[in-house]
């Protein structure tokens, strides 16, 4: 009896497990725990018979004075624990690095022949050839035996996983495929070198090639760790592939539970890629791209939401952004008004079915209207907006906030060089309510749809708080964009506030456009401070309500709100950093704020 092997765990495998657990804890979801448990079960069940065979046939052994004693099918408990901890560590690294990824955008609808069929077959042939080699090594026994046993055990699993999820394995960024394989592999190579040198475990000399990757590291051991980490990562990718299919295609899978059953996972993985809805995939790709490039705060926040709620929020963002941009980027007010009208007609058509009451006819009328809405979108909107408009989940969003948002955009068209729609604080509150309070209502509606069970009374309370939180964010947005808005000829600051600083709208806009002197800058600082005070007063009044949202959505909502409000906090610091004319939160601080928000409410 000895503690050598146990010490390897104590020094090399348990500390990274603790560090990764602490780091990942705030990001961890029930689905993540399910994934890890699933992977560990498969890893242990599939490795035990193989490892037991190796020990019983004396391919490798453990000197009795390095292990504590208890065994399972001749495998020392330390070794069984190794399967668990390695799977745990590699899984956590994978999950951490994959958090920002929305997996459905990497799915590809396949044609009967084409690039993807070739890629799939190429991988399968390579793995089959490796397996054939392994079988030869095993049959011939001798010094290639251990190498052969590793190949014969690992490659059939890899073949299966590749066949099921080659699209994601090829398409995903290397940060969520290669890196979680290579980083732990390299680490375990070093640990193994030390263990073999110390004789913690021994490969018998008659069954190994004798080749080393570096002094002290047998090639068999190197290959073993590479393949086991590959199996773990491929298993996780296959799991994510299944969840991506379940979440992306409601037409195939109308009802998806938070924790899909193994049967549903297999159903999703075996859905032929030719049956994927490529319009939906493209809509998601375009929406994620838009979100990534237009809003750093919401892009970061979106990665903390899960499943179909995450998808719906991203499409909602994309819709709001498309609508806002169509109006903001119009060449003149006349064109902007035309876009407003076009957007209203789109909503009229999309929600038209609600007007047509009458039992059996509702469905028919809805289909007819959807057809007309689709045609209208194709004819009247630019191509890059089509899919976002067509995928907007109108069946789970009330129409009123959407129309109200358009009214807010209409207010943007009322600005002249010396006046605008904002005459006082009340108008600015109303503007914020229209362009941002509405967005909050829509977000909360999606939350309550995907996580049902909130009472009507509570829902109303949440809506009110969310609405005010939207206004808070809009005040911060205005405080940040004073100069950018001035360049567009817009001043959202209530004139009485300007008057107090002895400024007119015209003077304020011109000063911002031209830079202004220190005296002017001071006045801008005072006005900005007032906007931020109002922003934080709305924020303070609503922030507690986040903790009353369905539990799985609290932390992500905190991230969305806090990441944006951080802009306001930065603006209050002298010398805040500015990018492309806008105050910005440095990336590392944004991540830190999001991380803190995930951990719990601010005290
Ligand atoms: C996580 C995720 C993907 C969320 C999506 C949120 C969403 C749908 C945002 C729409 C944004 C948008 C383009 C709206 C058009 C009108 C507009 C410009 C509003 C301003 C947003 C700023 O967006 P922008 O793209 O310009 O971002 P940058 O400034 O460039 O970074 C607004 C400031 C309004 C945004 C308002 C919200 C997201 C509502 C916030 C409130 C909640 C989520 C409710 C919180 C819940 C409780 C109970 C308090």
pLDDT tens for 371-385 read: 899 999 999 999 999
What is the rounded CA–CA span in Å between residue 227 and residue 150?
8
Q: Mean pLDDT over residues 568-594, rounded?
A: 85
| Nearest Cα residue to atom 30 of ligand 1 | 295
Residue nearest to atom 49 of ligand 1 (CA): 466
Q: Is the CB of 292 under 6 A from ligand 1?
A: no
559 lines ligand 1 (CB under 6 A): no
Cβ 542 under 6 angstroms from ligand 1: yes
SS3 72: strand
CA 303 to chain centre: 3
Which is the closest atom of ligand 1 to the Cα of 302?
Answer: 1
Number of Cβ within a 10 Å radius of residue 157: 17
For the beta carbon of residue 573, count every other beta carbon within 10 angstroms. Answer: 9
According to DSSP, the β-strands at 212-214 and 71-72 are: unpaired
Atom of ligand 1 nearest to the CA of 548: 48
Mean pLDDT of the chain: 93
Measured from the CA of 436, which atom of ligand 1 is nearest? Answer: 34
Q: What's the pLDDT score for residue 540?
A: 98
Per-residue model confidence (pLDDT) at position 180: 98
What is the reported pLDDT for 160?
98
What contacts 135, CB < 8 A, 6 or more positions away?
Answer: 148, 152
Whether residue 366 has pLDDT greater than 80: no
Type and span of the H or E element at 212: strand 212-214
Q: Which atom, in ligand 1's list, is nearest to the CA of 316?
A: 8
Q: How far is the CA of 55 from the centre of ligand 1 (A)?
A: 59
Task: Give ipTM to 2 decimals.
Answer: 0.96
pLDDT digits (tens, 9 = 90+) for 86-125: 999 999 999 999 999 999 999 999 987 789 999 999 999 9
Residue 160 neighbours by CB distance under 10 Å: 14
| Confidence band of 361 (pLDDT split at 50, 70, 90) | low
Q: Which residues contact 493 (CB under 8 A, 6 or more apart)?
A: 422, 428, 478, 482, 508, 527, 531
Three-state SS at 217: strand
What digits encode the pLDDT tens for the residues 124-149? 999 999 999 999 999 998 899 999 99
Cβ-contact 246, 261 below 8 angstroms: no
pLDDT at 253 over 90: yes
Closest Cα to atom 45 of ligand 1:
466
Measured from the Cβ of residue 519, the count of other Cβ atoms closer than 10 Å reads 8
Cα dihedral 485→487→491→497 (10° resolution) = 100
Atom of ligand 1 nearest to the CA of 321: 13
pLDDT band at 354 (very low <50, low <70, confident <90, very high): very low
Helix (H/G/I), strand (E/B), else coil: 70: coil
Measured from the Cα of 474, ligand 1's closest atom is: 33
**Which residue is closest in CA terms to ligand 1's atom 22?**
477
Find out whether the beta carbon of 406 lies less than 6 Å from any atom of ligand 1: no
Minimum mean pLDDT range among 213-222, 337-346, 397-406, 469-478: 213-222
Choosing from 303, 428, 436, 542 the residue with most ligand 1 atoms within 8 A of its CB, the one to mutate for a pocket test is: 436
User: With a 6 A CB cut-off, is 301 part of the ligand 1 pocket?
Assistant: yes
Whether residue 107 has its Cβ less than 6 Å from ligand 1: no
What count of other Cβ atoms lies within 10 Å of the Cβ of residue 333? 14
Nearest CA, atom 6, ligand 1: 317
272 φ/ψ sector (left φ>0, alpha ψ -120 to 50, else beta): beta
Q: How far is the CA of 407 from the centre of ligand 1 (A)?
A: 17
CA distances from 338 to 237, 321, 328, 378, 390 (A): 46, 17, 12, 16, 20
- Token couple for 371: 């057809």
DSSP assignment string, 201-233: SEE-GGGS---EEETTEEHHHHHHHHHHHHHHH
Nearest partner of 106 among 169, 180, 177, judged by Cα: 169
Going by C-alpha positions, the residue among 36, 38, 30, 33 that lies closest to residue 266 is: 38
Residue nearest to atom 28 of ligand 1 (CA): 295
Whether 356 shows a pLDDT value over 60: the answer reads no
**Which of ligand 1's atoms lies nearest the C-alpha of 542?**
49
Query: How far is ligand 1, taken at its centre, from the CA of residue 562, in Å?
Result: 12
**Is residue 409 within 6 Å of ligand 1 at its C-beta?**
no
Residue nearest to atom 13 of ligand 1 (CA): 321
How far is 236 from 91, CA to CA, in rounded Å?
7
Structure tokens at 79: 């070794």
Residue with the smallest CA separation from ligand 1 atom 9 is 317
Tally the C-alpha atoms within 13 A of residue 563's C-alpha that lie toward its C-beta: 25
Q: For a pocket test of ligand 1, which of 443, 446, 481, 585 has the largest count of ligand atoms closer than 8 A to its C-beta?
A: 443
Cα–Cα distance for residue pair 492/83, rounded to 1 Å: 61
Q: How far, in whole angstroms, is CA 429 from its chain's centroid?
A: 32
pLDDT tens digits for range 501-531: 999 999 999 999 998 788 999 999 999 999 9
**pLDDT attached to residue 362:** 58
For residue 481, how far is its CA from the centre of ligand 1 (angstroms)?
15
Ligand 1 center from residue 555 Cα (angstroms): 16
Lowest-pLDDT choice from 28-42, 428-442, 572-586 = 572-586
Number of neighbours of residue 599 by Cβ within 10 angstroms? 13
Alpha-carbon distance of 497 to 476, in angstroms, equals 16
360 compared with 199, residue with greater pLDDT: 199
Query: What is the token pair recorded at 194?
Result: 């030390």
Residue nearest to ligand 1 atom 26, measured at CA = 295
Burial string for 574-586 (b: 16+ CB within 10 Å, else e) reads eeeeeeeeebbbe
Q: Dihedrals φ, ψ of 59, to 5°? A: -75, -40
- Check residue 114 and give its pLDDT: 83
Q: Ligand 1 mean position to 148 CA, how many Å?
A: 56
H-helix or E-strand containing 87? helix 77-98
Question: How many residues belong to the chain?
Answer: 603
- Confidence band of 396 (pLDDT split at 50, 70, 90): very high
Q: How far is the centre of ligand 1, averaged over its atoms, from the C-alpha of 439 (Å)?
A: 6
The rounded distance, in Å, linking the Cα atoms of 495 and 476 is 18
Confirm or reject: Cβ of 231 under 6 Å from ligand 1.
no
Decide whether any atom of ligand 1 lies within 6 Å of the 86 Cβ.
no
| DSSP letter string, 522-573 | HHHHHHHHHHHHHHHHHHHHHGGGGGGS-HHHHHHHHHHHHHHHHHHHHHTS
Mean pLDDT for 22-39 is 97
pLDDT at residue 408 greater than cutoff 90: yes
The pLDDT value recorded for residue 357 is: 46
């Amino acid at each position: 009896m000895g503690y050598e092997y146990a010490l390897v765990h104590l020094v090399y495998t348990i500390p990274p497990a603790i560090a990764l657990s602490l780091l990942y804890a705030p990001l961890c979801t029930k689905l993540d725990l399910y994934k890890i448990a699933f992977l560990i079960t498969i890893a242990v069940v599939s490795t035990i018979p193989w490892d037991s065979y190796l020990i019983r046939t004396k391919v490798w052994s453990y000197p009795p004075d390095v292990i504590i004693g208890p065994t399972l099918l001749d495998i020392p408990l330390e070794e069984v624990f190794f399967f668990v901890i390695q799977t745990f560590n590699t899984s956590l690294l994978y999950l951490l690095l994959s958090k920002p990824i929305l997996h459905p955008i990497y799915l590809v609808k396949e044609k009967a022949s084409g690039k993807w069929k070739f890629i799939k077959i190429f991988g399968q042939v390579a793995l089959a050839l490796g397996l054939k080699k392994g079988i030869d090594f095993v049959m011939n026994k001798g010094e290639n035996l251990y190498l052969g046993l590793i190949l014969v055990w690992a490659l059939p699993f890899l073949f299966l996983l590749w066949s099921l999820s080659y699209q994601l394995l090829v398409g995903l960024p290397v940060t969520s495929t290669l890196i979680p394989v290579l980083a732990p592999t390299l680490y375990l190579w070093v640990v193994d070198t030390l263990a073999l040198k110390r004789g913690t475990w021994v490969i018998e000399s008659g069954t190994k090639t004798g080749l080393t990757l570096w002094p002290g590291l047998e090639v068999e051991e190197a290959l073993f760790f590479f393949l086991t980490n590959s199996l773990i990562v491929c298993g996780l990718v296959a799991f994510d592939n299944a969840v991506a299919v379940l979440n992306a295609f409601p037409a195939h899978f109308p009802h998806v539970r938070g924790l899909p059953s193994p049967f549903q996972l297999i159903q999703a993985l075996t859905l032929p890629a030719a049956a994927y809805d490529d319009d939906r995939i493209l809509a998601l790709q375009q929406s994620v791209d838009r979100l990534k490039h237009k809003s750093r705060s919401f892009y970061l926040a979106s990665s903390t939401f899960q499943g179909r709620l995450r998808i719906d929020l991203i499409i909602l963002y994309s819709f709001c952004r498309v609508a806002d941009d169509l109006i903001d980027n119009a060449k003149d007010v006349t064109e902007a008004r035309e876009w407003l009208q076009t957007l209203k007609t789109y909503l009229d058509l999309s929600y038209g079915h609600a007007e047509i009451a009458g039992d059996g006819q509702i469905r028919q009328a809805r289909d007819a209207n959807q057809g007309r809405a689709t045609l209208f979108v194709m004819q009247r909107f630019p191509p890059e907006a089509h899919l976002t408009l067509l995928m907007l989940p109108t069946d789970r969003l009330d129409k009123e906030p959407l129309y109200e948002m358009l009214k807010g955009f209409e207010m943007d068209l009322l600005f002249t060089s010396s006046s605008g729609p904002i005459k006082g604080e009340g108008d600015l509150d109303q503007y914020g309510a229209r362009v941002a309070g509405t967005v909050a209502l829509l977000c909360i509606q999606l939350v309550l749809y995907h996580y049902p069970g909130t009472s009507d009374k509570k829902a109303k309370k949440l809506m009110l708080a969310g609405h005010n939180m939207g206004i808070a964010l809009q005040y911060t947005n205005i405080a940040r964009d004073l100069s950018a808005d001035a360049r567009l000829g817009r001043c959202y600051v209530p004139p009485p506030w300007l008057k107090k600083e002895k400024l007119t709208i015209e003077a304020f806009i011109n000063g911002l456009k031209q830079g202004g002197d220190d005296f002017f800058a001071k006045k801008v600082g005072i006005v900005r401070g007032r906007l931020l005070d109002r922003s934080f007063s709305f924020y303070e009044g609503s922030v507690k309500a986040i903790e009353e949202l369905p539990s799985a959505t609290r932390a992500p909502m905190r991230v969305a709100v806090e990441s944006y409000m951080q802009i306001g906090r930065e603006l209050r610091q002298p010398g805040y950093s500015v990018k492309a004319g806008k105050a910005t939160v440095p990336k590392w601080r944004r991540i830190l704020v999001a991380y803190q928000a995930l951990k719990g409410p601010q005290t």
